[in-house]
Chains A and B, each alone.
Chain A
Amino acid sequence: DVKVTQSSRYLVKRTGEKVFLECVQDMDHENMFWYRQDPGLGLRLIYFSYDVKMKEKGDIPEGYSVSREKKERFSLILESASTNQTSMYLCAGVTSGRPYEQYFGPGTRLTVT
């Protein structure tokens, strides 16, 4: 079974904190993605990575950064959390063998107070 796991299902942080969201996949995905999902706005792409140490900005990268030091791990970093970053964060991966299918993790619901 394909596994994309995220470090936490629920997270509560304070404004101004540095927050790390971790995503780990076990299917040798070349491409990995971070989305956020908000009511009425659907899923929006924050960043993606197509290889180790490579990253590309998505549609809403402001306030976020990413790290991909190893192929199986893609981290999303909130440099200084703000209340408008309260959201559901979803990580996904894609393999070259099935480029049409993005495998999603269960999501992390982040609340910034």
Chain B
Amino acid sequence: DAKTTQPPSMDCAEGRAANLPCNHSTISGNEYVYWYRQIHSQGPQYIIHGLKNNETNEMASLIITEDRKSSTLILPHATLRDTAVYYCIVRVANQGAQKLVFGQGTRLTINP
């Protein structure tokens, strides 16, 4: 699986958009980008995933650059409950039996 690079920490004001970057310069053509988050004392939670097109769901938007070497997770209106560690993961196409390889992630703090 391709390696990802994320900033260790970020801050964002409540109500503003939180933009979390991820670099995955060695990504292969059949690898998807996944985002999970882990709120303190809970298990990780799936947010969104994509291959090359931008994706949006009820939780967030995922913007993938045209060369697919980086992506940005956008939380459009961050709330205090969005404070968590966010993980960007790259792996081969939707295979359920495959493990997830979590890096260190980005610790996002939403400030009131």
Q: How many residues of B contact A (CB 8 A)?
A: 20
Q: Is the interface of B mostly helix, strand, loop or mixed?
A: loop
Nearest B residue (CB) for A45: B99
* Docked CA distance A24–B54 (Å): 35
The tally of CB-CB contacts under 8 A between chains A and B is 53
B80 at the interface (CB under 8 A from A): no
Nearest B residue (CB) for A33: B99
Residues of B within 8 A of A96 (CB): 96
Sample (17) of A-B pairs whose CB atoms are under 8 Å apart? A31-B96, A40-B104, A42-B104, A43-B44, A50-B97, A92-B43, A94-B96, A94-B97, A100-B46, A100-B94, A101-B46, A102-B44, A104-B45, A105-B43, A106-B41, A106-B43, A107-B41
List 7 other contacts, CB 8 Å, given A90-B44, A96-B96, A100-B32. Answer: A31-B97, A40-B104, A43-B100, A43-B102, A92-B43, A102-B44, A107-B42
